[in-house]
Amino acid sequence: MRRYFAFATTENRENKEHTHFKNETMEHSNFTSGILTDQTPSIAFNAIKDFRAWWSEEIEGNTDQLNETFFYHYKDVHMSKMKLIEVDPHKKVVWLVLDNYFSFIKDETEWVGTKVIFEIVEKDGKTQLRFTHYGLTPQYECYDICNEGWTNYIRNSLYKLITAGKGEPNPKEGGFNSELLKKWSMPA
């Protein structure tokens, strides 16, 4: 059985038992979602680090080495440069968004300075994975589409990678296009 959960704010997480497994939003909350699985924290941790297997095959660089950066892009719609800034094996992984481009909103750099955080907790013989995009709030123009996108990647693709060994990432488009970096003036 697949279970989902989400917490609206850090303050709401403390000292409360959460039984709702749905996305919740509040005016100033960070986007948070998650899954509950029978797999081990080790399996979940290794799946999270393999962005190409659940987010996109269109990634250039290392996604699993501390202080390394990688580039992600989806067609001419979204491009992001991220750096792995924290790793606590089988418990936590944090990426910092160094640069970002969206073609469909006014502030093309909305994600810059935000953090993509995965926290893993073993609870009652199950593994709870909590995903937070810290800084992605409902005030962002991209919030609704990003909410939908992250929800799909976490609850569908990453969940399938963890539980069945195969995710559903965005497929390769013919290789990473370094010309996009130049077009969008993103530093390499």
Domain extents for the chain?
Answer: 3-183
CB 110 within 8 A of CB 142: yes
Mean pLDDT of 141-146: 93
Say whether pLDDT at 170 is over 60.
Answer: yes
Mean pLDDT of 66-81: 91
Is 0.75 surpassed by the pTM of this model?
A: yes
Give Dmax (Cα) for the chain.
50
Say whether pLDDT at 15 is over 80.
Answer: no
Say whether pLDDT at 93 is over 80.
Answer: yes
Query: Where does the pLDDT of residue 185 fall: very low under 50, low under 70, confident under 90, or very high at 90 and above?
Result: low
Phi, psi of 114 (to 5 degrees): -85, 165
Residue 40 CB coordination number (10 Å) = 15
CATH class of residue range 3-183: alpha beta
The mean predicted confidence, pLDDT, of the chain is: 82
Bridge-based pairing state of the strands 69-74 and 59-61: antiparallel
Say whether pLDDT at 24 is over 70.
Answer: no
Mean pLDDT of 41-67: 94
pLDDT, greater one: 90 or 172 = 90
Sign of the four-CA dihedral 10, 144, 137, 68: positive
Mean pLDDT of 32-56: 96
pLDDT at 1: 38
CB 86 within 8 A of CB 61: no
Mean pLDDT of 160-164: 97
pLDDT at 48: 96
Q: What percent of the chain has pLDDT over 70?
A: 77
